[in-house]
């Protein structure tokens, strides 16, 4: 007997990486082996030295094929066993190990936009729908578009054992969000990539694409982000508010570094309008969705909890963003 393993990896496309995958048939009882692929077709190698290596790092039940089949998240290696230059996971692994004592946790709010015929799903063939306002967490055919796909995606993520904590419709027709976490650095990034893969794959069955473009519709519409909620052990314990404020200040001191690594098209999204701070300014505040960093009101009441970095784009590499947040905040702790 055999089972099917879908090997998933992040390619070398610039400026925003894409997901790739292929299927390997494995005998029952056999562990997931390393595998190879043609890196010259994924922007990760030249034709004369095209071999790249897939190293399994996490596996999940395959909710689409079912049975004993699995989804396998991989990192890309060179044939000599070293991490490929496009492999951002190996740096994240080093950071997770270095700051393990702080027990950092993440919750990432992944916004995305469903697309049909080159337009956000629910936009009319010509012109624009009613202005944003009634779509956020709305209900009804006149305001909500793509719910069956989104519900199927949620069920698939849960069946795969992913830590999905919720979904909601967003402020533009065809725009949605799912949340991954709370999880540690590597787990939240691995699971976010797999959840994205499932979103794209299920979209195939509906004939609907999903995009992580930071500004899929120009004009008076919110962009798409990946608001990143972050806490450490110190923040979550009694008296943790001082660590939250210190974390905000540390992020402010390295604002330019983070903005440069928070996704393609960030200047188009972080304009100072549409619930954002400008990309070239930094601020934090309680319950302020126009700030770079929001401290939830309940956190201010409890004097402990977490902070929300509202700057990351929907198209972030979560390995990079999570690593930088840990290095900046935990690295500033005394």
Look at residue 271 in the predicted model and tell me its pLDDT.
87
Look at residue 43 in the predicted model and tell me its pLDDT.
96
Look at residue 289 in the predicted model and tell me its pLDDT.
84
Question: How do the pLDDT tens digits run along the chain, 334 residues long?
Answer: 999 999 999 999 999 999 999 999 999 989 999 999 999 999 999 989 999 999 999 999 999 999 999 999 999 999 999 999 999 999 999 999 999 999 999 999 999 999 999 999 999 988 788 888 889 999 999 899 999 999 999 999 999 999 999 999 999 999 999 999 999 999 999 999 999 999 999 999 999 999 999 999 888 888 999 999 999 999 999 999 999 999 999 999 999 999 999 999 999 998 877 677 888 889 999 998 889 999 999 999 999 999 999 999 999 999 999 999 999 999 998 6
Q: Are 278 and 271 in contact (CB under 8 A)?
A: yes
Residue 74: strand pairing partners: 56
Look at residue 3 in the predicted model and tell me its pLDDT.
96
Q: Could you give the C-alpha distances from 70 to 61, 117, 146, in angstroms and in order? A: 5, 32, 27
Q: Are 318 and 193 in contact (CB under 8 A)?
A: yes
Coil/strand/helix, residue 255: helix
DSSP assignment of 213-241, as one string?
-S-SS-SSS---BEEEEEE-HHHHSTTTH
Tokens at 20, concatenated = 């790739």
Tokens at 294, concatenated = 């929001």
pTM across the whole model? 0.95
């Amino acid at each position: 007997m055999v089972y099917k393993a879908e090997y998933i990896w992040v390619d070398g496309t610039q400026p925003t990486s894409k997901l790739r995958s292929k299927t390997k048939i494995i005998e029952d009882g056999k562990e997931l082996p390393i595998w190879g692929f043609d890196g010259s077709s994924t922007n990760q190698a030249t034709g004369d030295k095209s071999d790249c290596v897939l190293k399994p790092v996490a596996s999940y039940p395959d909710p689409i094929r079912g049975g004993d089949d699995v989804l396998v998240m991989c990192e890309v290696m060179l044939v000599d066993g070293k991490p490929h230059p496009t492999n951002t996971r190996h740096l994240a692994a080093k950071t997770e190990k270095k700051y393990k004592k702080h027990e950092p946790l993440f919750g990432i709010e992944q916004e995305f936009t469903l697309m049909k015929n080159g337009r956000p799903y629910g936009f009319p063939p010509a012109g624009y729908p009613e202005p944003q306002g009634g779509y956020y967490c709305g209900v009804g055919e006149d305001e909500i578009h793509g719910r069956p796909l989104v519900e199927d995606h949620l069920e698939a993520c849960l069946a795969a054992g992913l830590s999905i904590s919720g979904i909601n419709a967003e402020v533009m027709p065809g725009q949605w969000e799912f949340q991954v976490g709370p999880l540690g650095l590597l787990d939240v990034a691995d699971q976010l990539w797999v959840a994205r893969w499932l979103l794209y794959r299920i979209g195939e069955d509906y004939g609907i694409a999903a995009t992580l473009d930071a500004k899929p519709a120009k004009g008076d519409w919110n962009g798409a982000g990946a608001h990143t909620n972050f806490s450490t052990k110190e923040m979550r314990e009694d008296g943790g508010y001082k660590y939250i404020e210190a974390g905000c200040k540390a992020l402010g001191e390295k604002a330019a570094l983070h903005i440069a690594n928070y996704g393609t098209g960030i200047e188009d999204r972080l304009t100072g309008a549409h619930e954002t701070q400008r990309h070239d300014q930094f601020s934090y505040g309680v319950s302020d969705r126009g700030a770079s960093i929001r401290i939830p009101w309940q956190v201010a009441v409890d004097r402990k909890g977490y902070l929300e970095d509202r700057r990351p784009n929907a198209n972030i590499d979560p390995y990079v963003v999570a690593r930088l947040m840990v290095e900046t905040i935990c690295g500033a702790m005394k």
